[in-house]
Structure 1
Amino acid sequence: MAGEPQPDCLFCKIVAGDIPATVVRRTERVLAFRDIAPKAPVHVLVIPHVHYPNAAELAAAEPEIAGELLAEAGLVARDEGVEDYRLIFNTGTGAGQTVFHAHVHVLGGKPMTESMV
């Protein structure tokens, strides 16, 4: 069921603490942690605690949490000391989504190029 933790979801397991991650921010509803294969000096994933397969479904079902996800992404960038950064939501395998739990990538710390997406 949407919103419920999924037993086979990597990010649900990270939220639950079953899989370790380098956490940089945590709120009651959102978790931010470092990407294990960074594409920039700053590469942090910001995810909701609730499970939705992508950002559009999260926004449709729980717009307040979607808004908090974006606000936390901005706070991650601030905390990491980057003024210029990119936020990326991938939706679907053709767009590069590999974990089907809504998340935003915060990328920064060097000039952004199209090849980074």
Structure 2
Amino acid sequence: MAACIFCKIIKGEIPCFKLFESEKTLAFLDIQPLSKGHALVIPKHHGEKLTDIPDDHLGEILPVVKKLAVATGANEWNLLQNNGKGAHQEVGHVHFHMIPKPNPEQGLGIRWPQQETDMDKLKALFEEIKGKI
């Protein structure tokens, strides 16, 4: 995509602090980090949501995240990937954040509003989803 900032980074049109690169994957430091070592791992194939990316372009993502976590010395970290503006995706190109969590003030803060559930409804949902996999 011509206007995609991550595609421009992949093409070398915009500089980045490149940490890893292969034929299908690029990892670089986030320029607005939540903590020291916050990095982005992206597939080179352009797609807005994870479901838009071919499976063979996703194979290196988790191993690269693991390498980044080890290389940064992160003892605790979050792996974040958002799909769509309503889910807080800012850049319309699939990307994974590896965010070290060195202390309560730095890194990713999460609110987890759990909901009560009805087991019969949960079982029906389970059967619906499992039937589509």
> TM (normalized to structure 2)?
0.74
- Paired position in structure 1 for 2:72: 80
- The code of the aligned residue for 2:37 comes to V
CA offsets 1:20-43 (integer angstroms, 9 cap, x no match): 111111112111011111112221
CA distance in 2 between counterparts of 1:17 and 1:24 reads 14
For the aligned residues, what is the CA RMSD?
Answer: 1.5
Does residue 114 (structure 1) correspond to residue 113 (structure 2)? The answer is no
**Structure possessing the higher relative contact order (Cα contacts under 8 Å, 6 or more residues apart):** 1
- Cα distance in 2, alignment partners of residues 113 and 10 from structure 1: 25
Give 1:83 shift: 3.3
Gaps of 5+ in 2: 112-133
Q: CA deviation at 1:57?
A: 2.1
| Conservation of the 8 A alpha-carbon contact between 2:75 and 2:102 | no
Q: Secondary structure at the match of 1:106?
A: strand
How many residue pairs get aligned? The number is 107
Tell me the TM-score normalised to structure 1 length.
0.83
Q: Is the 8 A contact 1:42 1:109 kept in 2?
A: no
Secondary structure at the aligned position of 2:19 is classed as strand
Alignment check: 8 A CA contact 1:34 1:43 kept: yes
Distance in 1 (alpha carbons) for counterparts of 2:37 and 2:101: 6
1:37 partner SS: coil
